[in-house]
Amino acid sequence: MRSNRLSLSVCAAVLAALCAAAGCSTRAQNQAPAPPPVEVTEVAAADVPIYAEYPAQTYARNMVEVRGRVEGYIEKWLFKPGDEVREGQPLYGLDLRPYEAAVQQATGNLKQTEADLQYARQQVSLLQAQANLAVAQANLVKAQQDYERLKPLVEQDAAAKQDLDTATAALRASEANVRASQANVDQARLQTTTQIQSTEGKVDAQRGLLATANLNLQYGTIQAPIAGLVGDTLVPVGGLVTPNAAQPLTTIVPLDPIWVRFKISESQYLAYKRRLHDQMPLELLLADETTFPQHGRIENTQNQVDPRTGTLELQASFPNPQHTLLPGQFGRVRFQTEDRKNAILVPQRAVQQIQSMQTVYVVGPDNKAQARPITTGDRSGESWIVTKGLQPGDRVVVEGQLRVRPGMLVRPIPYRAAGR
């Protein structure tokens, strides 16, 4: 009897548990899940600047090869590869002894020639010839006086005719001596003038040789022709430097400004031609996605379109006072191409690409999400310009699209971009 009562109690307990479980399951089925939260942004029309971006690379337009101007062996380096050097800074020191000896020799030759010029200018031989001419002229005067004194005496038979003949011969001899002395003076003057001019020419030549020797001595210390970043040396200490060597000693690249080249298509060039001028500011986006703080400008445009690629190369310069940029770096050049009026922007992350179709989720007044196809145009920063499919005031889902299905009830919350 007792056993039967225990069995009835167990059955009642199991039945109650089953009923309770059935009731809980029914309540769970009747309770609807909470709508998922999504971040939305309300699109609006605004004036938007449109930018174009092109792959670019920096380069050194005025790179200089450092070469020796005289022959010699390198005794020492005066720089380290990668140093920033200034114009005129010594880079290499050659063995200067041959050039110092050449300077001394040229100096001695110049002094010797200057002494010869000084002697020539004193006109010693000319002075001697002029003195002889003066003596001959004095003798001629005396002979003339003797002749004139004896001639009337001989005519009056007061003196012997032989004395007059002697005086006449002396007069003729004195006249000939004067003429000879005058010829000697003219010859000495010509010789002196020629000697002076010739010696002056030698002095000028010796001065030129001395200047060349001093210049070669200066060239024995090879200096940086421009300021910039110096590269690795290609000739070791002890190596021979020659002016006509095939390879340079090193290279120097100027870093301020830094030059950038990029290419645009022919159609883009025609579309942007009115805006492509030397005053148009350019931005440079670096490989780490940062923007270079200095603005550049277009300096040159190639004179023809490349027929193989259909592109035109443009060259721009950017101030680089801190020498942040180096030749050979890659980046992107960006510049404004137009101002788009009343454009509708939507964040790029809100757009879903399904094959060739772009869609966004739009939350209606009833907080239900609907997929809507759109057509996008240019990009503006982190947003797309929507040309078709959206109207000002539409609420577009930016975050949480993966939890949404068309027609699903959602809980919209305002979207806040990173950094805002």
- Mean pLDDT over 198-220 rounds to 91
- Per-residue model confidence as pLDDT tens digits over 106-160: 999 999 988 887 877 777 777 777 788 788 788 878 878 877 887 787 778 777 7
- Per-residue model confidence as pLDDT tens digits over 346-387: 898 889 888 888 999 999 999 999 998 999 888 887 888 898
Q: What is the dihedral of CA 353, 355, 357, 360, to 10 degrees?
A: -30
- What's the CA gap between 343 and 339, in Å, rounded? 10
pLDDT band at 279 (very low <50, low <70, confident <90, very high): confident
- Per-residue model confidence as pLDDT tens digits over 57-112: 999 888 899 999 999 999 998 888 888 889 999 999 999 999 999 999 999 999 99
Which phi-psi region, left, alpha or beta, contains residue 152 (left: φ > 0; alpha: ψ -120 to 50)? Answer: alpha
CB neighbourhood size of 49 (10 A): 12
Cβ burial of 63 (10 Å; 0-12, 13-18, 19+) is middle
- Per-residue model confidence as pLDDT tens digits over 160-194: 778 777 878 887 888 888 888 788 878 877 777 88
Bridge partners, 221 (sequence order): 93
Q: Which of 241, 261, 262 is nearest to 250 (CA)?
A: 241
- Mean pLDDT over 26-51 rounds to 78
pLDDT score for 28:
44
